[in-house]
Structure 1
Amino acid sequence: MSSILSLHSTSLLSTTSYSTKLTVKSQAVLERTPKMGATYELKQGQNRFFHELPTGLKMEVICQKGVEFKDPERKCGNTPLVFVHGSFHAAWCWAEHWLPFFSGSGFDCYAVSLLAQGESDAPAGSVAGSLETHAGDIADFISKEIKSPPVLLGHSFGGLIVQYYLANLGNGQLPDTQDAYPKVSGAVLVCSVPPSGNSGLVWRYLFSKPIAAFKVTRSLAAKVFQTDLPLCKETFFSAVMDDHLVLSYQQLMKESLRLPLFDLRKLNKSLPVPQAPRSIKILVLGASDDFIVDTEGLSETGRFYAVPPVCVEGIAHDMMLDYSWEKGAKVILSWLKNLS
């Protein structure tokens, strides 16, 4: 697995999952002053651009186009994939492993950084936005940058944003009669916060796992994971994860969030999210060693969308960055092959 942290534009020598050594160099230079102190160096075939929203704020996008195969039977699909991160993350978390993996099967991949996260601009105020504004930003990006209905993939709180998007498909009109929320081909909820939010998770932990509840609160609410390496590993990764990789990701997480994604009190009052159209195909994917979203949270999401959840064994909350990141990616790829 490759180390991806470059502080002050210093390139690191890393290895891919196939144990091939290479020097990771940026494929796109930021056109403005970097907002993160820890710079993510893009991989070969990746590009960074900034999508301008109607507000004038710009949203970071890391893109990796699908490999073109001369033999069409080798191509798994051409449905665009749009990746939405959760708290303390940004577009880089998908670019490390999953963008190369899925683009290698022919999918055009786009990972966005929500406002005030990663290299995206920040709005005025004390929080980055709401479910409505974040979903609206994704809708604006899709309507202007994506040519065909994509599959949305959301992780953790990003999964809740995707759920809100799905619930509002077809609601409202843009000036040119396009739907405010463009159609999608499906959605993948990866270790997602359930439709009712995170309050149920918190209360279950308090009564059944008080020590774990204390650790989660200390790690996330107090942001101690940013300075405590063992706690960061326990919160997001498997125990077998290499410490130098955890340190790299820890620094990127610390730099990624400049404003909280939501006002959690206002958010919880607006939940649960409304039901999505039953015609939307949804994969609910969880991790057996998830320290944040428990088994009941995964089951709740599955029940809400009337689909059996898939729990990947031997992997933690940050499924796309963890030691065995291929496990979840392969489950999603299999689902994508059967989507049509």
Structure 2
Amino acid sequence: MGPDLRPPLLFIHGAYAGAWCWQPYFLPYFAERGYRSFALSLRGHGGSAGAAELSAWRITDYAADLARVAARVEARCGRKPVLVGHSMGGFLAQMHARKHAVAGLALLATVPPEGLIGSALHLLWRHPRLMWELNALQHGGVPPRLDKLRELLFSPQMPERELLEYATRFQHESDRALIDMTLPQLDYRPPLGMPPALVLGSEDDLLMPVHLIYSAARQLEVHAQMLKGPGHLLMLDRDWRLAADALADWLEELP
């Protein structure tokens, strides 16, 4: 696909993060390949307004942010974007695509359509100590044990220097938005026009285990692609290029 035919990419971060999580690797990687790449920080995240009111924001508020930025990207580029969503960002991408046409959906370690309940039960049953660490991140900032943060979000090879750098950038997430994603989900409509979709996960992801990634893929009528090695934060882990290459290969096959 020639550079002039490539759709723009809109990257959507997950909970506790911001647009910054795409900047070290994914944004330059895809810019070098000729893709016009954009990343938003949802309200209250990164450098966006609304931090003081973060606890009041609902998942529908985040969806409104995504709709507004997607419209701006389309107006600027003259083409609808491919949405690349990680974790909560993948959940938002699915919400958006039920109401708005998109050029494609790329869901990385995504929250499935049924929401967070499966992830919460998995952690509680299989990794209760990591559930405590996740709660520490939500309510107290950086967890006291960086080794547990590594186990929760990254591969064992993640160096402590990089781990600490990223850990200091994580932030509180809206409790209301998390509750919205944990409550039973009622909207299982397919995306408008069933756009091309990629569902990418990792066999070593403790937050979004394999069966949840398969669930998201079934809803989109595609086969999930599973990596071996990276943790939940596919775009920041030492093996980030595995995820970037898989996404790039899929993009090259778009009509």
TM-score, with structure 1 as normaliser: 0.68
Deviation (angstroms), 1:97: 0.2
Q: Does 1:155 align with 2:86?
A: yes
User: Structure 2 unaligned runs (5+)?
Assistant: none
Residues 21-42 of structure 1, C-alpha deviations (whole Å, 9 max, x = no match): xxxxxxxxxxxxxxxxxxxxxx
Deviation (angstroms), 1:235: 1.1
Give the distance between the partners of 1:261 and 1:104, measured in 2 at CA: 37
1:197 to 72, 91, 115: 115
Three-state SS of the structure 1 residue aligned to 2:84 is strand
Aligned counterpart, 2:131: 217
Aligned counterpart, 2:62: 134
Contact kept? 1:150, 1:185, Cα under 8 Å: yes
1:321 to 236, 244, 254: 236
Three-state SS of the structure 2 residue aligned to 1:200 is helix
Aligned counterpart, 1:186: 104
Deviation (angstroms), 1:77: 5.4
Three-state SS of the structure 1 residue aligned to 2:131 is helix
CA change 1:268–1:205 in 2 (3 A) is closer
Equivalent runs, 1:92-171 vs 2, <5 Å? 92-122=20-50, 125=53, 127=55, 129-146=57-74, 147-169=78-100
CA change 1:245–1:123 in 2 (3 A) is closer
Three-state SS of the structure 1 residue aligned to 2:168 is helix
Aligned Cα RMSD in Å? 2.1
Three-state SS of the structure 2 residue aligned to 1:82 is strand
Give the distance between the partners of 1:144 and 1:76, measured in 2 at CA: 19
Give the distance between the partners of 1:142 and 1:82, measured in 2 at CA: 7
Give the distance between the partners of 2:51 and 2:163, measured in 1 at CA: 30
Deviation (angstroms), 1:266: 3.7
Give the distance between the partners of 1:335 and 1:128, measured in 2 at CA: 37
Structure of higher CA gyration radius: 1
Three-state SS of the structure 1 residue aligned to 2:38 is strand
The more displaced of 245-254 and 104-113 is 245-254
CA change 1:126–1:115 in 2 (3 A) is closer
Three-state SS of the structure 2 residue aligned to 1:226 is coil
Contact kept? 1:76, 1:105, Cα under 8 Å: no
The more displaced of 184-193 and 123-132 is 123-132
Aligned counterpart, 1:260: 174
Percent identical among aligned pairs is 28
Three-state SS of the structure 2 residue aligned to 1:222 is helix
Aligned counterpart, 1:237: 154
Give the distance between the partners of 1:84 and 1:273, measured in 2 at CA: 20
TM-score, with structure 2 as normaliser: 0.89
User: Structure 1 unaligned runs (5+)?
Assistant: 1-71, 170-182
Give the distance between the partners of 1:127 and 1:301, measured in 2 at CA: 27
Three-state SS of the structure 2 residue aligned to 1:106 is coil
CA change 1:251–1:97 in 2 (3 A) is same
Aligned counterpart, 1:81: 9
CA change 1:299–1:119 in 2 (3 A) is same
Residues 174-208 of structure 1, C-alpha deviations (whole Å, 9 max, x = no match): xxxxxxxxx3100100000111111122223434x
Deviation (angstroms), 1:133: 1.8
Contact kept? 1:288, 1:312, Cα under 8 Å: yes
Deviation (angstroms), 1:290: 0.5
Moved over 6 A (4+): none
The more displaced of 116-125 and 157-166 is 116-125
Give the distance between the partners of 2:67 and 2:95, measured in 1 at CA: 11
Contact kept? 1:159, 1:193, Cα under 8 Å: yes
Aligned counterpart, 1:309: 224
Aligned counterpart, 1:246: 163
Aligned counterpart, 1:11: none
Give the distance between the partners of 1:166 and 1:203, measured in 2 at CA: 27
Give the helix-richer structure, 1 or 2: 2
* Matched AA of 1:289: D
Residues 159-183 of structure 1, C-alpha deviations (whole Å, 9 max, x = no match): 11111101122xxxxxxxxxxxxx3
> How many residues are aligned here?
248
Give the strand-richer structure, 1 or 2: 1
Q: Tell me which of the two structures has the higher relative contact order, counting C-alpha pairs closer than 8 angstroms and 6 or more residues apart.
A: 2
